[in-house]
Amino acid sequence: MPAADTNRAINLLPTFSAIRPTEIVDQLTELLNQNRRDIKALLELDGEITWDKFFSPFEDIGDRLSRFWSPIGHLHGVADNEDLRDAYRDAVVMLSEYSTELAQSDRLSSAFRSMRDSAGFEALTPAQQKVIENALRDFRLGGIDLDEAKRERFRAVSTELAQLTTRFSENVLDATEAWEKNVTDKAELSGLPESTLGLIRQNAAKLNREGYTLTLDYPCYGPVMSYCDNRDLRREMYKAYVTRASDQGPSAGRFDNTENINQILALRNELANLVGYPNYAEYSIATKMATSTRSVAEFLEDLVERSTDAAHRDFDQLTNFATDELNLRSVEPWDVAYCGEKLRQHAFAFSAEELRPYFPVARVVEGLFNTVNRLFGITVSALPGVDLWHADVQVYEVRDDGGMLRGIFYLDLYAREHKRGGAWMDECVVRRSVGGSIQSPVAYLTCNFTPPVDGEESLLTHDEVLTLFHEFGHGLHHLLTLVDHAPVSGINGVPWDGIELPSQFLENWVWEREALDTISGHYQTGEAIPDELFRRMCEAKNFQSGLQMVRQLEFALFDFLIHAEYSPEQSVQEILDNVRRRVAVVNTPPYNRFQHAFSHIFAGGYAAGYYSYKWAEVLSADAFSRFEEEGVFNSETGKSFRESILERGGSEDLLVLFTRFRGRGPTIEPLLRQAGLST
């Protein structure tokens, strides 16, 4: 029998099996109308507007909608189908209209303003004050100060943006699934690891075919680019991958995002202009840690300067190696990962595949739980009997050292059809206080790892283990929060350029021997990673880190510039080409349309914010450096991180929280050192 608090939390979990796509729009219509009526009634109450009388019931109303919508949005990402897609498209528009309507409600914004101006404001907790201040800021960003004509335009632009970004990600998914290639001659696949061969043989078997079916899903595409000796195949798949959803490549024009991109950029710029910002980058910065677009640009340029020489050295080394050892006259984009892998093996006698047998998935997951137990004193245990969207999914509960339930999460590990690629954490239920009792937070952790093949347990790469830790870091931020108010609880209210702090922070432990001993063990013998393999793996850690750094900077600068320097005449491709000329060291073929599948910025929350990864990496590397000083498993340091950062959500300024943890403001040196780029 689960404990009482667990039962209460389970009662708030969605019933995925009961979601009927054809009923979603009607249900949502009814719910939104009910919310409108309830908010109206709240605003008509007599007497002074106070937190308890106004904000608490207002939060209830918002939470009801979040809990209805979260599982639907989630299913759209992990178990897509035609009916759901139709419903989702309509629903996104309705939600966008609803939220702009609230953002532009004068009565609502004056309710918040009167709370801020009241004598009672000072008596509120810092978290409550933050909720009110953030809300007032968001009213301004949502167009509250505009006249009616402009407000109307703002609403229309928001709605259109919601539609376009949905279409963008659907195109990417469709284009990814539209390409496949069957190969019957195994010789054409030489070099591919057994794990990948097993996966693509299984792909073929599912389609009743002989041989192997290649797809653009990352568990197939990644290994082909890194290991397959067949250069023609690499080139073919590279072209298919980097032209997805564009006017180029094998499905040219079929799922083309060109117009979506142009319209999204134009509308974002217009949105920013409407509320008084010269461009969308300025608008984006308004809610972030960075204080100006200039400071972001300078930050990125500084990193470019610090890493360009290293990147050129890396590429020269790669080119020389390819010429001398692999008989290649030039290193093309479809050779970079392949030659890199060969060079890594040559220089460090180390191949990423060598580690795979040591990372059977169950062991890794157990080891992860063990690691966070030692660091943060929390215990993770399986929670059976919960309704799911797929049989592969597992559910766990998290308790702290005092035995208190801190949250629940779903773990969906494997790539499969109709599931969006990549890895992410999303919120299912947010922690908040409801009438004196706590609503426990619930998270979705989603990955796209190589699925089990032929009934054998899945073996992960070290990279995949790293991804799991990364997402779990986000998960802890959501689950360990002790904030009682939804808008600043967990990852809510955390500035986007700080959101990657806990996730990148937790990645560090997959490089620590002590942690590795608990997250790894040979799948046949249980044997630990041998010392000399560990040594080679660490030596290879910063292999080509210069190249990796400039690649990330290329994405970040591109994202920032297309938003900061928007003009209707601009060509997105030209801006990208310019950034590449300045930053990239590997030549890109003219058909490359990487940006057409750059969902982070055109369909996710990273617009004019992709720099956040690097920005937060400064914080995460610096936070980890305190553990390097005090012991990587020092439970006091772990407790301090938990209490200063993980439990505080968006309830205080992140720079203040960080400084409290570190005892000083952030510095960039730990990042450069950990990436092997310090001079």
- The residues binding Zn ion (CB under 5 A) are 500, 503
Within 8 A by CB and 6+ apart from 215, the residues are 176, 177, 179, 180, 200, 203, 221
Closest distance between Zn ion and the C-beta of residue 78, in Å? 17
586 closest CA partner among 59, 594, 461, 40: 594
Take residue 406 and report the two structure tokens written for it. Answer: 């801190």
Q: Which tokens in the block code for residue 638?
A: 């772990």
CB-facing half-sphere around the CA of 211: CA atoms within 13 A: 13
Beta bridge partners of 215: 180
Query: Position of tokens 């009388």?
Result: 53
Catalytically annotated residue among 471, 554, 647, 652: 471
Q: How would you classify the pairing of strands 432-434 and 437-439?
A: antiparallel
471 belongs to the catalytic site? yes
d(CA 354, CA 352): 5
Q: Which is nearer to Zn ion, 215 or 503 (CB)?
A: 503
Closer residue to Zn ion, CB minimum distance, 334 or 658 = 658
DSSP H helices, 44-105, are 56-78, 82-103
Q: Is the dihedral of CA 22, 24, 27, 30 positive or negative?
A: negative
DSSP character for 247? S
Q: Which is nearer to Zn ion, 19 or 289 (CB)?
A: 289
Return the number of the residue (78 or 310) whose C-beta is nearest Zn ion.
78
Q: Which is nearer to Zn ion, 78 or 616 (CB)?
A: 616
Displacement of CA 431 from its chain's centroid (Å): 20
At its nearest, how many Å lie between Zn ion and the CB of residue 621? 15
C-alpha–C-alpha distance, residues 449 and 343, integer Å: 25
Residue 216 CA to residue 222 CA, distance in Å, equals 9
Nearer to Zn ion, 419 or 474 (CB): 474
Q: Which amino acid is at 202?
A: Q
Question: What distance lies between CA 618 and its chain's CA centroid?
Answer: 18
Structure tokens at 518: 């608990």
449 token code pair:
């790892």
- Residue 117 token pair: 């101006």
What is the residue type of 447? C
The amino acid at residue 150 is K
Nearest residue to Zn ion, using CB? 503
The minimum distance between CB 470 and Zn ion, in angstroms, equals 6
| Token pair in block for residue 602 | 């055109």
Is the Cβ of residue 355 or residue 501 nearer to Zn ion in the bound state? 501
- One DSSP character per residue, 141-179 reads HTTTTS-HHHHHHHHHHHHHHHHHHHHHHHHHHHHHHH-
Q: Which residue has the tokens 């608090």?
A: 5
Min dist CB 574 to Zn ion, Å, is 30
Nearer to Zn ion, 307 or 503 (CB): 503
Q: Which amino acid is at 444?
A: Y
Task: Indicate which residues carry an active-site annotation.
Answer: 471
